Amino acid sequence: MSGPARMLTGDRVYRIHWMPGTDILRGVCHCGAERVAEEPVELWEWLLAHPQGHHSPVPPAPEVPTRTAVPA
Which residues would be at the binding site for other proteins (CB under 8 A)?
A: 1-8, 10-20, 23, 25, 30, 39-41, 43-44, 48, 67-68, 70-72
Separation of alpha carbons 25 and 70, rounded Å = 27
Question: Minimal CA–CA distance to 7: which of 69, 55, 72?
Answer: 69
| Minimum distance from residue 25 beta carbon to other proteins (Å) | 6
Nearer to other proteins, 20 or 60 (CB): 20
| Minimum distance from residue 62 beta carbon to other proteins (Å) | 16
CA distances 51 to 3, 26, 27, 39, 61, Å, are: 27, 17, 14, 21, 19
Residue 25: other Cβ atoms inside 10 A: 18
| Minimum distance from residue 45 beta carbon to other proteins (Å) | 10
Nearer to other proteins, 15 or 54 (CB): 15
